[in-house]
Chains A and B, each alone.
Chain A
Amino acid sequence: MSLASWYQLIIFSWQSFWRNIWLSIVTITIIVLALVSINFLVVLNVITDTAVSLVQEKIDVSVYFKQTVTEPQVLEVKTYLASLAQVDDITYISQQTALQAFRERHQQNTAIIESLEALDQNPLGATLIIQAKSLDDYPEILSVLDNSKYNELILDKNFEDHAAYISKLKNISDTINRIGILTAAVFIFIATLIVFNTIRVAIYTHRQEIGIMKLVGAANWFIRSPFLFSGIWYGIVATVFAVAIMFPLLKVMQPPLNAFFLTADVSLAAYFRQHFWQIFGIEFLGIILLNAVSSFVAIRRYLKV
């Protein structure tokens, strides 16, 4: 195809876009809504991921050993656990340190302190505090421990309460994601229908020009392509608008987010800037592809050449 043909193609598609400006505005608005809803899904993902990782940082499993278990035995268990791929970090708290911490925690309570004094030996066992690499790893680590030869050394483990919290958090996060995906899917579906209808109306509006084009021997692809290109214009303009809308919105959302997480470490705008091409590039390509398919179907159906 010659350069002149490309030039004419772009000019004709732009004319088609511009001459049906109100229709184009409606189409772009719906595509922008679809893109913004997808971006909110991204925001929700960032928020839930942050929430999960913040909770995860605070979660650990404490393995309490029997009072009779010696320090070398505990350290052997520590070495064993450290060799597991799922384990991120292990802190050893000796019997002595545990006792000291217990005393400090209850120093106002004279009854407890006096009871401790009355005992000839340290009633507390050593503790190992385990942090896993991921939330899903905790049950596995505990299962390995339960089935090992060290199980009989262990007095108690305190993971169950946390498991309930994590499970609840994950459920909420999954539900939010599902709602987000559904909303985005609805908008994408509507956007596809609107693009289809817009191309149909554009074909109807240009029926006289199309008739003349056919009469004077314009190639079929040349008649069809401007409508296909119109879909690309919609994609370009809609993506630009989506970017222009998202960043101010992210700025507005930031202060309540900081207040919620009690930290200013999570920056939505920074996340969107870092992943700009992954987010908007993929959205742009997706919308172009969707418009192209929708336009192609409309052209096949309504543009007889």
Chain B
Amino acid sequence: MIIFKNITKLYPPNTTAVKGINLHIKPKEFVSIVGRSGTGKTTLVKLLIAEEKPTEGRIIVGGWDITGIRSNEIPILRRQIGVVFQDFKLLTKKTVFENIAFALQVCGAKRSRIQEIVPQVLKIVNLSGKENRYPLQLSGGEQQRVAIARSLVHRPKILIADEPTGNLDSFNTREIIDLLLKINEFGTTVLLVSHDREVVNYVNKRVIALGDGQIISDQKIGKYII
């Protein structure tokens, strides 16, 4: 599903974000990428969604070599990869329904399709009945669930969650992780980027640990070991 072949990313003048990363993630896998701040976790996410291009190496997503992806191809890639972040990235002036619908509207979806898909994803994230609330009227966990719902509207093959529980209490954290596991069970490859030991240990799946921009361990059923 995802292949990183000898990936290096340098930022001028002389910062090495990641160096010589070789990684193979199979379809339907749940992979936690762990490491301290500044070890290159977010750089890997940026490379995967083509927000950055690697200095060296090749990246293949679903058989598509995206190393030299053209700017007009990036939207096609991003419709196949759902992304959620720590800060939710919701539009506070739009309702829950509108926030999710926005992801479809900007891709030219018809009204009928929007009306069909949004309730479906709201049901998956267990937010049915809250579609008319505004983000600020929701708890942090609910806001993150809205973000996850939005990332699911294109039925992505891959879901990247970059520190999705960073702003949440332990109860909401558990809910979000359970939701990600549920999505994974449906067949979506999930990449969880986290530095939260409890979260990673709770997931109890493959763990890739990064240190100084390099892979320092890759355990099939792993624990947070740093």
Contacts and interface: CB of A to CB of B under 8 A. Distances in A.
Contact of A222 (B74, B77, B108, B151): B108
Nearest to B111: A4
Given A208-B91, A212-B91, A305-B71, A217 B108 contact: no
Nearest to A212: B89
B38 interface: no
A218 B106 contact: yes
A4 B106 contact: no
A1 B109 CA distance: 11
B103 interface: yes
Contacts of A216: 78-79, 102-103, 106-107, 150-151, 153-154
A9 to B, nearest CB: 9
A8 interface: yes
B166 interface: no
A4 B106 CA distance: 10
A213 interface: yes
A123 B61 CA distance: 109
A162 B136 CA distance: 81
Contacts, number: 63
B3 to A, nearest CB: 21
A5 B107 CA distance: 8
Interface size range of chain A in the complex? 20 to 34
Interface residues of B, number: 25
A217 B78 contact: yes
A5 B89 contact: no
A118 interface: no
A305 B83 CA distance: 17
Given A211-B89, A215-B83, A217-B78, A8 B72 contact: no
Given A215-B83, A219-B75, A220-B72, A4 B91 contact: no
A270 to B, nearest CB: 48
Given A211-B89, A212-B102, A217 B111 contact: no
Contacts of B154: 216-217
Interface of B: 49, 71-72, 74-79, 83, 89, 91, 102-103, 105-111, 150-151, 153-154
Interface of A: 1-2, 4-5, 8, 208-209, 211-220, 222-223, 305
18 contacts: A4-B108, A4-B110, A209-B91, A211-B89, A212-B89, A214-B75, A215-B49, A216-B102, A216-B103, A216-B150, A216-B151, A217-B76, A217-B79, A217-B103, A217-B107, A218-B75, A218-B107, A222-B106
